[in-house]
């Protein structure tokens, strides 16, 4: 692996993405949305009358966690926990768009052949593309997350809710899980992008790999399970393995000859 | 500098190239001619290690080239049939990325130097999407030259260009040839092949001919001299036929066209015979078949002339 060449590929991908209006628009809107939606929802909890008793409605796993808290704090913790899960998949929109257009777009522009004629190896090329795509998405979701944390302190959430958005479990979700999920989806996007002709199809197929995670998010939303610290660590370890596997798979499936000779 | 041995490529059973053995010497410009689908682009891709041969081998600068020979690609500058740029990026950024991929020291100054040299300095910051075909082709040549390679592989660099842009590109090719580079040029433009090529290779899945255009002409058509006579040439035709060194004589375009074994020794003898016969000679000119005639004959026959390498 030559890091100078990887850096050149990253530079190209980021410059190219920054000249794509659709991506730039997403880059501006997403961090604002990431921050605004949770904060507006959390602030609206204050409108609920404190006399309302909902404690018996919580799923059992959550009910144990919320036991003894005032109603508003319970609602804040519940909502904050849901929004933290949203940050698992929030950074995906930009990297998936970049990754899926990355190889297909270059094939369409016929820019892949001269690129493959350089000394760049398949591993370097895919690493550069994946890092660039994932970096933009992660950076923006982190920006959105930090805005949300600042706003959470600004609207004075209850201490248990604050700990939910800015505490060890939140950090694992934001700084470990979210990048790993983003990398997973990006690699899937790249693999599909190097095998199909249509970027939209690539995006849709690429998204399939994150369906189990979306299932997990929905399961928590509907109260079927509660994502505990242990489960978070297990998911993180699983994601590290899945990412490593997908990197190897991406390199193995990127067939230069097929891409050059079967793509018109 | 470039050597192939019995190079064959099949795509899913379809033969694209068969048994190509050739050598391109250092500083030589070899033109690869052939109809569409003759295997020219396949040959370039095999030389670059972009695709692997079904059988046979390639050497670049003495090293075997395979799809895994990444660092050997530094020896080669490549201009594909379609230039293929990152359209949204400005010209300088396109080149700078390539400079870094090739490990060029001080990439930015090299980029600016080339943009200046190829007449694109004033458009350096414009997106490539706004460039004309001619400008793209010049930029593609600059990209192929970014790492100052000793070998250039150029796939139809003037295809689809208007005459002015094609002339500009041809001038650039002449300039590049002047620096001792080994160049393999694929083209359909026979005039370009004649002007630029040291040797031509004619390909139609397999190699049909490989030599200098002049030698190929001699081998195919022999040497022809045309003698223009003031008046009817018919009475003099009989005086020429059967003379030593004359292979064939005929009247074409109102003049005597005589195929001879050797221009220098036979022509003075023929002129003497005609003058003795009272022929009022207006002009004596050697006739050179066009490369087009030569090419068409070789391709139509579809079998080899001589291939001395």
Which of A94, A105, A125 has the alpha carbon at shortest distance from A8?
Answer: A125
pLDDT, residue A50, reads: 59
In the predicted model, what is the mean pLDDT of residues A238-256? 88
Q: Alpha carbon B138 to chain centroid distance?
A: 18
Q: How far apart are CA B31 and CA B198, in angstroms?
A: 8
| A12 or A218, which is more confident | A12
Taking CA atoms, B281 is separated from A4, B234, B269, B271, B284, in Å, by: 73, 13, 14, 8, 8
Outline which parts of chain B fall under CATH 3.40.50.300: 2-211
Q: How far apart are CA B210 and CA B201, in angstroms?
A: 4
- Average pLDDT value for chain B: 89
Q: How many CB atoms lie within 10 A of CB A200?
A: 11
Outline which parts of chain B fall under CATH 3.30.70.100: 222-288
Q: Is the pLDDT of residue A106 over 60?
A: yes
Confidence of residue B248 (pLDDT cuts 50, 70, 90): confident
Measured between beta carbons, the chain B residues lying within 8 angstroms of A103 are: none
Q: What is the DSSP letter of B303?
A: S
Confidence of residue A55 (pLDDT cuts 50, 70, 90): low
For B256, list phi and psi in degrees, rounded to 5: -85, 125
For A17, list phi and psi in degrees, rounded to 5: -65, -40
**pLDDT 10s digits, A188-236:** 888 888 777 777 777 777 777 777 878 887 887 777 777 778 888 898 9
Q: Is the pLDDT of residue B10 over 50?
A: yes
Q: How far apart are CA A116 and CA A123, in angstroms?
A: 12
Taking CA atoms, A118 is separated from A125, B5, B46, B163, in Å, by: 11, 24, 14, 31
Structure tokens at B249: 């004589």
In the predicted model, what is the mean pLDDT of residues B238-242? 87
Q: Name the residue among B83, B87, B98 with its Cβ closest to that of A118.
A: B98
For B227, list phi and psi in degrees, rounded to 5: -120, 120
| B87 or A49, which is more confident | B87
Between positions 126 and 145 of B, the ones with CB within 8 A of A are 127, 140, 143
pLDDT, residue A57, reads: 67
In the predicted model, what is the mean pLDDT of residues A149-155? 88
- Asked if B102 reaches chain A (Cβ–Cβ under 8 Å), the answer is yes
- Best of B75, B101, B159 to mutate (most A CBs within 10 Å, chain A): B101
A-chain residue closest to B84, CA distance: A111
pLDDT, residue B304, reads: 45
In the predicted model, what is the mean pLDDT of residues A44-58? 64
Query: With b meaning 16 or more CB within 10 Å and e meaning fewer, what string describes B24-61?
Result: beeebbbbbbbeeebbbbbbbbbbbbbbebbebebbbb
**pLDDT 10s digits, B269-282:** 999 999 998 989 99
pLDDT, residue B215, reads: 84
**pLDDT 10s digits, B282-300:** 999 888 777 888 888 888 8
Are B74 and A261 an interchain contact pair (Cβ–Cβ within 8 Å)? no
Contacts of A119 (CB under 8 A, 6+ apart): A2, A5, B70, B71, B73, B74, B101, B102, B103
- Best of A109, A124, A260 to mutate (most B CBs within 10 Å, chain B): A109
In the predicted model, what is the mean pLDDT of residues A238-248? 91
Per-range mean pLDDT, top range of A25-29, A216-220, B9-13, B16-20: B16-20
- Average pLDDT value for chain A: 83
**pLDDT 10s digits, B98-142:** 999 999 999 999 999 999 988 899 999 999 999 998 899 999 999
Q: Is the pLDDT of residue B305 over 60?
A: no
CB A209 within 8 A of CB A180: no
Q: How far apart are CA B129 and CA B132, in angstroms?
A: 8
Burial class (CB in 10 A: 0-12, 13-18, 19+), B295: buried
Assigned fold of B2-211 = Rossmann fold (3.40.50)
Q: Is the pLDDT of residue B48 over 80?
A: yes
User: By three-state DSSP, how is residue B229 classified?
Assistant: strand
**pLDDT 10s digits, A61-70:** 677 777 788 8
> What DSSP assignment string belongs to A189-251?
HHHHHTT-S-HHHHHHHHHGGGHHHHHHHHHHHTTS----HHHHHHHHHHHHHHHHHHHHHHH
**pLDDT 10s digits, B194-232:** 888 999 999 999 999 899 888 888 777 778 888 999 988
Domain regions of chain A by residue span: 3-262
User: Dihedral, CA atoms, B106, B107, B108, B113, nearest 10 degrees?
Assistant: 90
B-chain residue closest to A108, CA distance: B84
Are B89 and A19 an interchain contact pair (Cβ–Cβ within 8 Å)? yes
- Asked if B54 reaches chain A (Cβ–Cβ under 8 Å), the answer is no
Q: What percent of chain B has pLDDT over 70?
A: 98
Confidence of residue B263 (pLDDT cuts 50, 70, 90): confident
pLDDT, residue B309, reads: 41
Q: How far apart are CA A1 and CA A127, in angstroms?
A: 9
In the predicted model, what is the mean pLDDT of residues B46-73? 93
pLDDT, residue B101, reads: 97
ipTM: 0.81
From its phi and psi, is residue A36 left (phi > 0), alpha (psi between -120 and 50) or beta? alpha
Q: Is the pLDDT of residue B16 over 60?
A: yes
> What is the nearest CA distance from B112 to chain A, expressed in angstroms?
18
pLDDT, residue A48, reads: 67
Q: How far apart are CA A259 and CA A163, in angstroms?
A: 49
CB B22 within 8 A of CB B192: no
pLDDT, residue B171, reads: 86
Q: What top-level class would CATH report for the domain B222-288?
A: alpha beta
pLDDT, residue B306, reads: 44
Q: How far apart are CA A187 and CA A249, in angstroms?
A: 9
Taking CA atoms, B3 is separated from A202, B52, B58, B61, B75, in Å, by: 40, 15, 6, 8, 14
B-chain residue closest to A107, CA distance: B84
Determine the straight-line distance between the first and last CA of chain B, rounded to whole angstroms.
13
In the predicted model, what is the mean pLDDT of residues A78-91? 81
In the predicted model, what is the mean pLDDT of residues B255-277? 89
Which of A113, A121, A115, A105 has the alpha carbon at shortest distance from B41?
Answer: A113
From its phi and psi, is residue A153 left (phi > 0), alpha (psi between -120 and 50) or beta? alpha
CA dihedral sign of residues B30, B31, B33, B37: positive
Beta pairing class for B151-155 and B76-79:
parallel
Q: How many CB atoms lie within 10 A of CB A114?
A: 23
Confidence of residue A114 (pLDDT cuts 50, 70, 90): very high
What's the pTM value of the predicted model, to 2 decimals?
0.82
């Amino acid at each position: 692996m030559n890091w100078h060449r990887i850096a050149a590929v990253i530079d190209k991908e980021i410059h190219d993405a920054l000249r794509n209006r659709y991506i730039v628009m997403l880059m501006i809107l997403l961090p604002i949305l990431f921050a605004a939606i949770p904060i507006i929802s959390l602030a609206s909890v204050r409108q609920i009358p404190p006399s309302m008793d909902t404690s018996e409605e919580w799923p059992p796993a959550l009910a144990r966690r919320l036991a003894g808290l005032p109603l508003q704090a319970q609602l804040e913790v519940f909502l904050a926990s849901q929004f933290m899960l949203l940050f698992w998949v929030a950074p995906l929109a930009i990297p998936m768009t970049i990754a899926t257009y990355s190889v297909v777009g270059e094939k369409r522009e016929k820019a892949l052949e001269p690129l493959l004629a350089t000394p760049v190896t398949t591993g370097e090329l895919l690493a550069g593309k994946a890092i660039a795509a994932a970096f933009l998405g992660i950076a923006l979701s982190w920006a959105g997350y930090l805005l949300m944390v600042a706003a959470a302190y600004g609207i004075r959430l209850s201490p248990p809710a604050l700990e939910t958005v800015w505490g060890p479990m939140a950090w694992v979700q934001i700084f470990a899980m979210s990048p790993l999920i983003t990398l997973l989806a990006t690699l899937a996007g790249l693999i599909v992008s190097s095998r199909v002709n249509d970027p939209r199809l690539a995006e849709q197929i690429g998204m399939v790999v994150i369906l189990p995670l979306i299932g997990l998010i929905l399961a928590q939303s509907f109260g079927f399970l509660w994502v505990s610290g242990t489960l978070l660590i297990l998911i993180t370890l699983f994601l590290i393995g899945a990412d490593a596997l997908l990197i190897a798979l991406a390199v193995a499936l990127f067939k230069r000859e097929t891409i050059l000779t079967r793509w018109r | 500098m470039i050597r192939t041995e019995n190079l064959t490529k099949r795509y899913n059973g379809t033969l694209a190239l068969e048994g190509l053995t050739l050598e391109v010497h250092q500083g030589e410009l070899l033109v690869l001619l052939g109809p569409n689908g003759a295997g020219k682009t396949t040959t370039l891709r095999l030389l670059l290690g972009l695709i692997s041969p079904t059988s046979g081998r390639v050497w670049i600068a003495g090293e075997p080239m395979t799809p895994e020979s990444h660092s050997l690609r530094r020896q080669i500058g490549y201009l594909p049939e379609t230039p293929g740029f990152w359209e949204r990026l400005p010209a300088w950024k396109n080149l700078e990325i390539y400079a870094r991929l090739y490990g060029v020291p001080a990439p930015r100054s090299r980029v600016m130097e080339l943009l200046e040299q190829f007449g694109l300095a004033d458009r350096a910051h414009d997106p490539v999407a706004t460039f004309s075909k001619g400008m793209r082709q010049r930029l593609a040549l600059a990209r192929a030259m970014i790492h100052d390679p000793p070998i250039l592989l150029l796939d139809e660099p003037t295809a689809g260009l208007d005459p002015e842009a094609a002339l500009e590109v041809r001038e650039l090719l002449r300039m590049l040839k002047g620096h001792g580079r080994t160049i393999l040029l694929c083209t359909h433009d026979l005039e370009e092949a004649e002007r630029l090529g040291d040797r031509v290779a004619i390909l139609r899945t397999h190699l049909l001919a490989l030599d200098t255009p002049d030698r190929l002409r001699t081998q195919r058509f022999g040497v022809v001299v045309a003698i223009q006579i003031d008046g009817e040439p018919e009475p003099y035709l009989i005086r020429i036929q059967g003379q030593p060194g004359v292979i064939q004589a005929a009247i074409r375009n109102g003049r005597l066209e005589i195929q001879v074994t050797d221009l220098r020794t036979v022509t003075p003898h023929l002129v003497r015979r005609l003058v003795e016969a009272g022929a009022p000679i207006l002009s004596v000119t050697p006739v050179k078949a066009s490369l087009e005639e030569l090419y068409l004959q070789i391709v139509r026959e579809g079998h080899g002339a001589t291939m001395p390498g």
